[in-house]
C-alpha cells in the first residue's frame, strides 16, 4: 500500500478553444522522484502551473495531502507544502545570493508583516540560510549579486529557494535546460541530495537524467497521461 501525496483526478484545462490538458490522472507517491516526459507542447509546463496554483483547472481535482488545491492561489499552495522552480530562471537579480535565500526562508518563519526586529527569529533565519548555502554549494558566493552569477549557479540558487520553505513536494521545471554535460551531472547530483526525504516531480528532456534520477516516469502526450511506470518498464519505449 503506497501513500499518495499528490494526485490529479480527471483534470482538464483549456484556454478558449484550445484544450491543453485533457483528462489527466496521476498519482505521485510520498517520497518518490517522479518524472514527467513527453514531446514539446504536450502540456508539461501547464501541468506544473496547475499544480502550483498559477492557473486553475477548467475541471477536475488536484489533491495534495488529501486536500483539494485546485483553484487556490500560488501563495496558498506554497503554504500547504508544495514549492516549485521555474523553467526560466526566476530569482531576485539585483540583490545578493544571501538575500535571495533570506527572502525565501523568512516566509517559513511567518516573517511577513513584521516591522519590528525579532532577533531570535532572525537568527534562526540566518542559520537556515547558511545551511541552505552549504546544501546548494554556494557558500562562497553568498555576497555576490545573483545577476552576476553563472547560469548553473543561478539554477542552483533557484533550487535552493524552492527548498527554503521546507516543502514536502518539490516541482522542478526543466532544471537542466541549457546546461553542459558537466553542469547537468553536477545539478543531477545536487537534486538527488536535496530531495532526500521529500517528494519530487520533475519535467526534464534529458533522458539519461530522467532514467538515473526517477523512481517512476509518466508520459504526457497531447495533454493526456498515457502511461506511468518504472524506468525499467519504460526504457524500451521511444521517448
| Closer residue to another protein (CB): 5 or 161 | 161
Closest CA to 212 of 191, 236, 226: 191
Q: Which is nearer to another protein, 107 or 135 (CB)?
A: 107
Between 132 and 213, CB nearer to another protein? 132
Nearer to another protein, 64 or 214 (CB): 64
- Taking the least distance from each CB to another protein, the nearer of 114 and 239 is 114
**CB 31, min distance to another protein, A:** 23
Rounded least distance, CB 193 to another protein, Å: 22
Q: How far is the CB of 88 from another protein (least distance, A)?
A: 11
158 or 206: CB nearest another protein: 158
CA 42 to each of CA 37, 104, 109: distance values in angstroms, whole numbers, following the listed order: 9, 31, 38
Q: Give the residues lining the site for another protein (CB under 8 A).
A: 52, 73-76, 78-79, 83-84, 86, 90-95, 99, 102-104, 106-107, 111-118, 122, 161, 164-165
State the CB neighbour count (10 A cutoff) for residue 135: 16
Shortest distance, position 151 Cβ to another protein, whole Å: 17
Nearer to another protein, 122 or 177 (CB): 122
Burial grade of 76 (CB within 10 A; 0-12, 13-18, 19 or more): exposed
Closest separation in Å from C-beta 143 to another protein? 13
Minimum CB–partner distance for residue 89 and another protein (Å): 10
In the complex, the smallest distance separating the C-beta of residue 92 from another protein, rounded to whole angstroms, is 4
Amino acid at each position: 500500500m503506497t501513500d499518495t501525496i499528490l494526485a490529479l483526478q480527471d483534470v482538464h484545462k483549456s484556454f478558449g478553444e484550445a484544450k491543453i490538458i485533457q483528462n489527466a490522472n496521476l498519482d505521485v507517491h510520498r517520497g518518490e522522484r517522479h518524472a514527467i516526459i513527453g514531446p514539446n507542447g504536450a502540456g508539461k509546463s501547464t501541468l506544473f502551473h496547475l499544480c502550483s496554483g498559477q492557473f486553475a483547472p477548467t475541471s477536475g481535482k488536484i489533491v495534495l495531502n488529501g486536500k483539494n488545491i485546485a483553484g487556490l492561489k500560488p501563495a496558498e499552495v506554497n503554504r500547504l507544502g508544495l514549492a516549485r522552480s521555474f523553467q526560466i530562471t526566476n530569482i531576485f537579480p539585483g540583490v545578493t545570493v544571501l538575500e535571495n535565500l533570506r527572502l525565501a526562508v523568512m516566509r517559513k518563519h511567518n516573517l511577513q508583516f513584521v516591522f519590528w526586529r525579532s532577533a531570535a527569529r532572525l537568527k534562526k533565519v540566518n542559520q537556515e540560510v547558511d545551511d541552505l548555502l552549504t546544501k546548494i554549494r554556494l557558500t562562497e558566493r553568498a555576497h555576490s549579486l545573483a545577476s552576476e552569477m553563472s547560469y548553473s549557479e543561478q539554477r542552483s540558487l533557484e533550487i535552493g529557494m524552492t527548498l527554503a520553505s521546507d516543502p514536502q513536494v518539490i516541482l522542478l521545471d526543466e532544471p537542466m535546460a541549457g546546461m553542459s554535460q558537466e553542469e547537468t551531472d553536477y545539478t543531477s547530483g545536487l537534486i538527488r541530495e536535496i530531495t532526500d526525504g521529500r517528494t519530487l516531480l520533475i519535467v526534464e528532456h534529458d533522458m539519461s537524467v530522467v532514467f538515473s534520477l526517477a523512481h517512476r516516469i509518466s508520459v504526457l502526450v497531447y495533454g493526456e497521461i498515457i502511461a506511468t511506470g518504472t524506468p525499467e518498464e519504460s526504457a524500451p519505449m521511444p521517448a
